């Protein structure tokens, strides 16, 4: 069984490379600016704060603080799994890495090449960890759709910038899903009374529109900034 899987690896790598080149080659100055801004982890701080503000407005400080700690642990696990454990172990060079022959065909934005290795994507793992955990916890369709779109765009931005193959972000998504599922299961088992208050049957969540509005506002701001940077 293992031999059969290993025999498929060269084919999967070829497909992954071909898909990367297909996605990475379509670019323009506006999208260069947009994706570079979108991929910056610090630019989304107001978006994260809007979630915590809504939680503070709806639930006790103990529940909100506990959720913050749990999510911090979750993201740390996902980040360390990808960056500290798997990237040095697998040693798959990024498409943008100058030592990778593919870098000659890779579209690079403003000289940004990331680190040496890229499998799996930490950006993807972290984004999907947050997304899946929030979906499990909050269970509101509008928020779920918005977070899914946010994570998908985050993944695409990493491919667009030339620092990840599609396979990198896909495996990052799987890691985010697995870690979020495990952490939520443990959280629910240990503090079921905390997770229950988020369920729609427990009552309507006030100001649930705020993160959606903030996300929309930030996308608009990034788009306007990208336009004026041309």
In a domain, 38, yes or no: no
Give pLDDT tens digits for 3-52.
777 778 889 999 999 999 999 999 999 999 999 999 998 999 999 999 99
In a domain, 3, yes or no: no
Q: Residue 162 and residue 118: Cα distance in Å, rounded?
A: 10
Q: What is the tally of structural domains in the chain? A: 1
Q: Are 174 and 43 in contact (CB under 8 A)?
A: no
Q: Residue 206 and residue 57: Cα distance in Å, rounded?
A: 7
Look up the pTM and report it.
0.93
Domain that holds residue 66: 61-207
Non-local CB neighbours of 71 within 8 Å, separated by 6+ positions: 130, 133
In a domain, 22, yes or no: no
Q: Residue 7 and residue 12: Cα distance in Å, rounded?
A: 10
Non-local CB neighbours of 111 within 8 Å, separated by 6+ positions: none
In a domain, 134, yes or no: yes
Q: Give the residues of the chain that fall short of pLDDT 50.
A: none
Non-local CB neighbours of 230 within 8 Å, separated by 6+ positions: 29, 30, 33
In a domain, 117, yes or no: yes
In a domain, 91, yes or no: yes
């Amino acid at each position: 069984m293992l031999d059969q899987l290993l025999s498929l690896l060269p084919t999967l790598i070829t497909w992954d490379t071909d898909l990367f080149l297909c996605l990475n080659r379509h670019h323009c100055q506006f999208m260069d600016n947009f994706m570079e801004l979108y991929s910056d982890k610090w630019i989304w701080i107001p978006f994260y704060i809007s979630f915590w503000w809504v939680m503070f407005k709806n639930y006790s400080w103990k529940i909100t603080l506990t959720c913050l700690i749990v999510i911090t642990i979750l993201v740390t696990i996902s980040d360390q799994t990808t960056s500290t454990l798997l990237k040095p172990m697998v040693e798959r060079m990024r498409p943008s890495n100058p030592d990778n022959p593919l870098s000659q065909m890779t579209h690079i934005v403003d000289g940004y090449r990331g680190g040496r290795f890229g499998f799996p994507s930490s950006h993807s793992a972290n984004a999907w960890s947050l997304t899946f955990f929030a979906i499990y916890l909050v269970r509101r369709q509008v928020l779920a759709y918005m977070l899914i779109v946010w994570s998908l765009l985050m993944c695409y931005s990493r491919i667009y910038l030339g620092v990840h193959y599609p396979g990198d972000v896909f495996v990052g998504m799987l890691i985010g899903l697995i870690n979020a599922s495990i952490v939520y299961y443990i959280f629910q088992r240990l503090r079921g009374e905390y997770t229950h208050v988020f369920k729609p049957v427990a009552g309507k969540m006030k100001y649930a529109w705020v993160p959606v509005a903030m996300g929309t506002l930030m996308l608009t701001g990034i788009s306007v900034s990208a336009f004026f940077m041309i």
